[in-house]
Amino acid sequence: MKNLVQRWLSVLVCAILVSSLFLTGCSNTSDAQGNQSNLDNYVPRLNGIATVEMKIKGATTPILIEINGNDAPITGGNFVDLVERGVYNGLVFHRVISSPDPFVAQGGDPKGNGTGGFIDPETKQERRIPLEIKLKDDEKPTYGKALGRQGEAVTRPVVLKHLKGAIAMARSQPPDSASSQFYFALSDLDFLDGDYAVFGYVKQGMETVEKIKQGDRIESAKVVSGSENLKK
């Protein structure tokens, strides 16, 4: 009986943590995002590797993030494009769960409250990108389909795992609803693999990531290498 209670408590905790990654605004996805035949030419996309330097206001050590466009070209391209546009400069980390168990530091919402995303100045609409998950031995990622605890990632591991220091996209319940909100994994979070798109890893400055508090702001984010790999 004790083991059964502990198992149910574990499931409940995981459900609560996962729900914290959901955006609370409504979401719609475009026909183009739902049509996989169009995704080979989807832009922005990152064809290769890029490095982003992110400075947190008040922190002395910047965060260096390696963005993997080889295995997450659309998700990585979206992030690098938003960095180049200056979208993240000054934005707040609106959700940080670091205790009792380290979980995530989430930011990137222009509204600052977990309900918003990037409004494209050309379309005047919120940009939404397809969920992008690459499984081991696959040539290309799978799009628009959660592959996590109830899916194919159970039997075949994802290429980009939720290891400590991973950076991934937050989204609302529909798979193709990520926009600009991202999160840093503060510990290994393998139960998120296949359901949320990891697109890179912290290479330097993890001590700064671990000190992020709710309300802290991104002082600046800039691409320091690999900008030539971004296709718009």
Given a cut of 70, is residue 36 above it in pLDDT? no
124 φ/ψ angles, rounded to the nearest 5 degrees: 65, 15
Residue ranges per domain, the chain?
2-231
Range in 18-32, 88-102, 124-138 with the lowest mean pLDDT: 18-32
What is the pTM (predicted TM-score) of this model? Answer: 0.88
Mean pLDDT of 143-158: 86
Q: If we measure between CA atoms, which residue out of 115, 157, 131, 111 comes closest to residue 36? A: 131
Q: Considering the chain, what percentage of its residues have pLDDT values greater than 90?
A: 78
In what side-by-side order are the strands of the sheet with 182-185? Answer: 93-97, 104-107, 182-185, 166-169, 198-204, 63-68, 49-56, 218-225
State pLDDT tens for residues 127-150: 999 999 999 999 999 999 999 977
Mean pLDDT score across all residues of the chain: 88
Just give the CATH number of 2-231. Answer: 2.40.100.10
Task: Return the pLDDT at 5.
Answer: 36
